Amino acid sequence: MNFLENLMYEGFTFLDTEEFVTRTKEIHLRSKTNPDIEDEVIEDANPSDVDFNANTVIYLEEEILKERESLSKAISKAKQKSKIDIDLAIASNKKRQAFIGMLRELGKTKSSERIVKESGYKFNSEGNQVSYVYDVKKITTIDFDRNKVKKLIKTLSEQCDKVSCDIDRNMLNTEVEFEPKWALTDTIEDICEELENHN
């Protein structure tokens, strides 16, 4: 699937390059300023350095989409034969890992004590309202069981590792019945040139 993704993005790069998807004809009107010289016409002023054109890449992109869909169906069919629900296991592990990350951040929380200044108002001996400043001791304590958090991180991490091993083992041992259209060593240039030769 990664091969097809890379192939598709390489095709996008070609199609996103103006010089590749356009043809430029230049007419050098030299005779207007120098009657002794003839005008020159350059038919393809921005030639591509590959032996295929945008139509071939567009066709290839369409074929890649079909190939991805066929491969996805083959993978889905193979997963149904697996001993575990691979997609569910992957999704569950992602959630566990997100929770572990949050628990690790929570574990960094510490109790603290600090002095901050606050102000208030009072009436002085003359009956005037005046402000005054006083200290406030702020004591912050963690409101969770740190040991329980550490234990939960360890338990969930072990569970993630076990599920990951189960996923890997099942993916390695699950045979996908699929005949690829292209070899993994084929480049986009190889494939497009072959398409050009068959058309």
Q: From first to last of its 199 residues, what are the pLDDT tens digits of the chain?
A: 889 999 999 999 989 988 888 888 888 998 888 888 888 888 875 567 788 888 999 999 999 999 999 999 998 888 888 888 888 999 999 999 999 999 999 999 999 999 999 999 999 999 999 999 999 999 999 999 999 999 999 999 999 999 999 999 888 888 888 888 899 899 999 899 888 877 6
Name 146's Cβ contacts closer than 8 Å, sequence gap at least 6. 107
11 contacts 64 by C-beta, under 8 angstroms: yes
Closest by Cα among 167, 178, 156 to 73: 178
- Please tell me whether the overall predicted TM-score, pTM, comes out greater than 0.95 for this model: no
